[in-house]
Amino acid sequence: MPRFAANLTMLFTEVPFLERFARAAAAGFSAVEFLFPYPYAVGDLRAALDRHRLSLVLHNLPAGDWDAGERGIACLPGRTEEFRAGVETAIRYAQALGVPRLNCLVGKTPPGEDPARVHATLVDNVRHAANALDAVGLQLLVEAINPFDIPGFHLTTTAQVLALLDEVGSPNVRVQYDIYHAQRAEGELAGTLSRHLARIGHVQLADNPGRHEPGTGEINYPFLFAHLDRIGYDGYIGCEYKPAGVTEAGLGWMTALTA
């Protein structure tokens, strides 16, 4: 039976962020994830998790100036010191919040830069992050993002992420496999999950088109949930989708599609 984590960046957005923990717990979730903890005091986040008996299963490394359109800085030459400082900040938050894994958004390919320099920067930064997290018992993830939602994102397919991981050469970095992004960029969901299960550290979902609840689009989620059980995936599945309406009104899919 799949275990779901509510993505608080995407769900329960009808209320301020720190109020979403209560809504997630009331809706039956025992775990949450979100993009970034950094705008909030560690103590406030820890208190919200404890008050509502929630586990935090994932958040991201700092990803640059999000409001200005940056979606990670790991592949950006000239930003290495900022990236490494962000790794240390992320570790401090993760240790305080009890989160076991951190995701690295690698960023958009910088126009006009030497591709070899971009690639070398990315490999060095991911290797540094993997080693830094390993030293404190945390796992690093890297994900591909489809080129339609974020044009120019540097990694758009599972194969690209796996090739990066091969070059980094650390056992402490795995794939964050987002079913929605994979469907848009490459398809072959069940086969990819089966072939690379040992290298997948976390799974996320949304349906396509629209990035709404499972059951609203083309992805056969009853099959995929059963498939994940069959192949032995035992981690959480992050619900990183845009509710079509009020979040709670659309949560019936969890029962309907996993029965």
Our CA dihedral for 257, 5, 162, 88, rounded to 10 degrees, sits at 170
Determine what percent of the chain falls in helix, strand and coil, rounding each to the nearest 5.
40, 15, 40
| Residue 238 pLDDT grade (very low, low, confident, very high; cuts 50, 70, 90) | very high
pLDDT attached to residue 150: 97
Per-residue pLDDT, 71: 98
Block residue for tokens 């629209």? 210
pLDDT at 206 over 90: yes
Predicted confidence (pLDDT) per residue in 115-139, tens digit: 999 999 999 999 999 999 999 999 9
Mean pLDDT over the full length of the chain: 97
What distance in Å separates the CA atoms of residue 195 and residue 17, rounded to the nearest whole number? 37
**What per-residue confidence (pLDDT) applies to 2?**
86
Domains and CATH numbers, the chain: 3-256 (3.20.20.150)
Mean pLDDT of 143-150: 98
pLDDT in tens, 7-55: 999 999 999 999 999 999 999 999 999 999 999 999 999 999 999 999 9
What's the rounded Cα separation, in Å, for the pair 113 and 121? Answer: 11
pLDDT band with cut points at 50, 70 and 90 for residue 258: confident
Q: Stretch 2-10: mean pLDDT, rounded?
A: 96
Region 177-187 average pLDDT: 97
Q: What are the tens digits of pLDDT across the range 243-253?
A: 999 999 999 99
**What span, in angstroms and rounded, lies between the C-alpha atoms of 147 and 155?**
9
Predicted confidence band at 145 (pLDDT cuts at 50, 70, 90)?
Answer: very high
pTM score: 0.96
User: What confidence tens digit (pLDDT) does each residue in 58-73 have?
Assistant: 999 999 999 999 999 9
pLDDT of residue 131: 98
Residues tagged active-site = 143, 240
Mean pLDDT for 222-232 is 97
Does position 174 have pLDDT exceeding 80, yes or no? yes
Answer whether residue 225 shows pLDDT above 90: yes
Quote the crossing angle between the two packed helices 158-168 and 115-134, to the nearest 10°.
Answer: 70
Nearest residue to 175 (alpha-carbon basis) of 154, 198, 152, 206: 198
